[in-house]
Amino acid sequence: MRAELGCYIARMLPDTSSARQRAATSRARERRSFGRLRRRDSGRWEAAYVGPDARLYRAPATFEAKDDAIAWLSAERRMIELDTWIKPDDRASRKPTKGRTFGDYAEEWLANRRTKAGPLKPRTQADYRRLLDRHILPTFSDRPLRLIGSDEVNAWYLSLNSKTPTERAHAYQLLRAVFTSATKAKLIAENPCAIEGGGQTERAHTVEIATLDELATITTAMPERLRLAVLLGAWCALRYGEIAELRRMDVDLRNGRIRVQRGVTWPNGKATVGTPKTKAGGRVVNIPPHLLGVVKSHLEDHVAPGRTALLFPARDRESSLHPRTFGKRWDVARAAAGRSDLHFHDLRHTGATMAAQTGATIAELMARLGHTTPQAAMRYQSAAADRDKEIARRLSELATGAIRV
Active centre residues (catalytic) = 239, 345, 348, 371, 380
Q: Contact 276/300 with Cβ under 8 angstroms?
A: no
- Alpha carbon 364 to its chain centroid, in Å, reads 27
User: What residues contact residue 357 under an 8 Å CB cut-off, 6+ apart?
Assistant: 384, 386, 387
Task: Please check whether residue 73 is in contact with residue 45, taking contact to mean a CB–CB distance below 8 angstroms.
Answer: no
Distance CA 233, CA 227 (A): 10
Q: How far is CA 29 from CA 37, 68, 207, 344, in A?
A: 6, 16, 42, 47
Residues 351 and 234 sit within 8 Å (Cβ to Cβ): yes
Distance from C-alpha of 352 to C-alpha of 276, rounded to nearest angstrom: 18
**b (16+ CB within 10 A) / e for 7-35:** eeeeeeeeeeeeeeeeeeeeeeebeeeeb
DSSP letter (8 states) at residue 101? B
